[in-house]
Structure 1
């Protein structure tokens, strides 16, 4: 039996999930706890990754879903899906650091793509990744995403997104066709 999919359930986040999801996202990307997994941004960004208001905005938006993943009743991952016309945007992806590297992320992204395609009839999934995150970009490329070379600026000076530890950060758009 595939342990990456054992006991998983997918559901839309609710208002009462906000604090738990903020803690999950923070643990996957920031601070020493994030170093237990491979998705840490602790060496390039300090401070917060997301705040409760940001999570709540996604939950309450009519064009977004915050897909929450549970294993045996415990929240272990989440991701944002946002309907943007002919494509969906994938973001706020977090897997508990203790469970990273075991195939769970592959299962979740495949399910997110399936749900976006079936729910909204979109033909592409878009995401942005900090351009210096070569290991993470390579992981997405192995899932069928391609680099576009199109970038957008990192929000320097807005501590809601963290405190940059270097001055060369920007987001690169990655795109995957959804068959």
Structure 2
């Protein structure tokens, strides 16, 4: 391969990766059915989206267990857990970490909600929340509120770990006060 072609590929490759991620993110919008999933939690139990049907679901993707921002975000969700439950919401965290890593993280910080192991990043990719750079896959810090009918009610593509849980609580209060369309028959 000549040097000019190699340089062109080195310049174009990151743009192509970003374009691929943007395409997945752009296809998921408010009111659409949340992409289904089946992933193991920190205890090895398989969890599916359907498990939370009829409830509000805060599905948050995060890069890595035990990193400063991810720990802050998880602990804030833990600290707001009672408020979220009073609003009829369940919290579920997702990263590409293993179930064993999730178990240690959940135990260390006494997290009362499931952490799902998306080891191949397939679920994060379906939600447009996967950062796939060369051989390193990592979930982006993004959150989706899924309504009781399984539709996307709110998308957070830019998250401040310090303030995010409080923002979710505020938005859930607002969303719950709005009339919810009834589920359409299949």
Tell me if both proteins adopt one fold, taking TM over 0.5 as the criterion: no
Greater strand fraction, Structure 1 or Structure 2: 1
Greater helix fraction, Structure 1 or Structure 2: 2
Q: Rg larger in 1 or in 2?
A: 2
TM-score under structure 1 normalisation? 0.29
Q: Which has the higher contact order (CA 8 A, sep 6+)?
A: 2
